[in-house]
Amino acid sequence: MKIGAFDVFEPLPELRDPHVLANLRPWIDVNNVGTLTLDGLEAQLGAKEIGKLARPGDFLDFTRYRPMLYLEEGVRRVKIPNTT
């Protein structure tokens, strides 16, 4: 089923006091960190995926403003580009 920009998986469970957990793939999923975190939370909380953005690229530009991680003289550094 489609609701707005979301593909919603059927059948929908009965929801009581629902909460949302989100992962922005591939941005916040470097080395599967976001996926593994959500998988762990789903297991611990008994949660399940009920939907996702049908076309995330309509809302997010995955090619710009990505942070860059690098080592400088053995020190880990992060460069975050200007997002404005």
Determine, yes or no, domain membership for 84. Answer: no
* Host domain of residue 61: 2-79
Q: How many domains does the chain have?
A: 1
8: pLDDT confidence band, cut at 50, 70 and 90? very high
pLDDT at 80 over 70: yes
Max Cα–Cα distance, the chain, nearest Å: 54
Q: Cβ(67)–Cβ(79) under 8 Å?
A: yes
pTM of the predicted structure, to 2 decimals:
0.58
pLDDT, tens digit, 9 for 90 and up, residues 15-72: 888 888 887 776 677 788 888 988 999 999 888 889 998 998 888 776 777 778 899 9
Determine, yes or no, domain membership for 64. Answer: yes
